[in-house]
Structure 1
Amino acid sequence: MSERYEYVPHRLLGHRVRDIASGAEGELMAVINENVSDSVAHERWMELAYVRDESGREFTTTIHNIETISRMT
C-alpha cells in the first residue's frame, strides 16, 4: 500500500471558505490527498479539505465542495 496521505498546495489555503454540501464556513487549513479505502487491494484516493470553523473545530469535505466566501470591504 502507498503512503496514506500527501499534502496538496491550493490557492485557497488560509482563506475563508464554505462547504457547499453542509453550508458550514471556516478557514481552509489544508488539502490532503488521502487514501480513504478500506482495502489493501483497491486503493481509493481523495483530496480532502480540512476547514476550521469559528469554534476551532475542524471538519473535512471533498475539495470539490469548497467555495470561497467574498469578503465585504
Structure 2
Amino acid sequence: MPEAYEHLRHPLLRRPVRDIASGTEGELMAVVYEEVGQVCGDPQYKPIAYIRMPSGRELSTAASNVQALG
C-alpha cells in the first residue's frame, strides 16, 4: 500500500484526459494517495487525480474517474 500523500505513477500523466464525473478536460498533472475521510476513527485513503484545465486551474477527482482523450 502506498504511503499517505505519496505521488503515484499513472500511465496518463502529462496526457490529455477527461474527468468522467464532471466532463472537465485537461492534462493529468498528478495522482496522489490522500486521506478522504474516516471510518470508525481510522483514516481512509484513495488515489486522487489532479487535472489542469486550459485556464490553468486544477480540478481534483477520484483517479478512477480519469479517462484518456482521443
What per-residue deviation string (whole Å, max 9, x for no partner) do you get for residues 16-65 of structure 1?
000001000000000000012257x3111010000000000001000111
Map 1:13-52 to 2 at 5 A.
Answer: 13-37=13-37, 41-52=41-52
Gaps of 5+ in 1: none
RMSD: 1.7
1:9 equivalent to 2:9? Answer yes
Aligned length: 68
Of all paired residues, the percent bearing the same amino acid is: 46
TM-score by length of 2: 0.88
Gaps of 5+ in 2: none
Write 1 or 2 for the structure with the bigger share of strand: 2
